[in-house]
Amino acid sequence: MSLDTSAVVETARMTSPIGELELVARDGAISEIRLVEPAPPGDPAHEPSPAPPGASPSERTALDGVLTAARRQLAEYFAGRRRTFELPIAADGTPFQRRVWRELAEVGYGQTATYAELARAIGKPRAARAVGAALARNPVPVVVPCHRVIGATGDLRGFGLGGVSVKRSLLDAEAGVVRTRA
C-alpha cells in the first residue's frame, strides 16, 4: 500500500486482547490497523503521535477525533459491546480489492463467508484465490472483518493480523466462545 506523502498522517497505539495495535489515520480517516509488539505500560506509544510539521489545527483535530473514535470503537468491539464500526476508512487498494472489501464489510458479526461466496457476491465466481489475495492486503482488519472469511470446508486460512490463532480468537469471541490457554 502506498500513502500519499502530501497526506496528513498520524498514529496511535492501543492495547487489545490480541496484542498491541497501531492505528494509522490519514486525512481524517483510518487507513491502517497493524499488530505491533507490546509496548510497556506508560510508553508514549499509547498516545497519538504528534501531528506532522505543517499540519493545520483543523487537520490535527480531525486526526485526533478519528483515532479517538477508532480506539473507543475497537475497545467496545473487544469487550463484546460493539458489532459494527462507524469510522471513516481510507483504505488504499486496487478497484478489485476495494470491491472485495466493500462486500466483506457486509459479512455480519458472528457470521462467516467463504472465499468462493465472496467471489460470487462480487460477480466473479472463479476468483476465490484473487479474493483471498485481496483479503491478505486488507489494511484495516477487524474493522473490515477479513477474519470472518473461511475456507470452503470450514477451515481457517491465513490472517495477516497475527495469524490463524488470532483469527480463531476473534471468531470465538464473536460466537460467544470463551477459551482459556492450556
- Is 146 known to be catalytic? yes
* 22 phi/psi in degrees, rounded to 5: -110, 125
How many Å apart are CA 23 and CA 51, to the nearest integer? Answer: 14
Which entry of 104, 142, 146, 149 is annotated as an active-site residue?
146
SS3 assignment, position 46: helix
- 27, 30, 64: which is closest to 47 by C-alpha? 64
C-alpha grid cell, residue 48: 497519538
Which ranges in 48-163 belong to alpha helices (H)?
57-78, 95-104, 115-121, 128-136
How many Å apart are CA 116 and CA 112, to the nearest integer? Answer: 12
Question: Residue 52 gets which letter from DSSP?
Answer: P
How many Å apart are CA 157 and CA 152, to the nearest integer? Answer: 10
Q: How far is CA 177 from the centre of its chain?
A: 21
* Catalytic residue list: 146
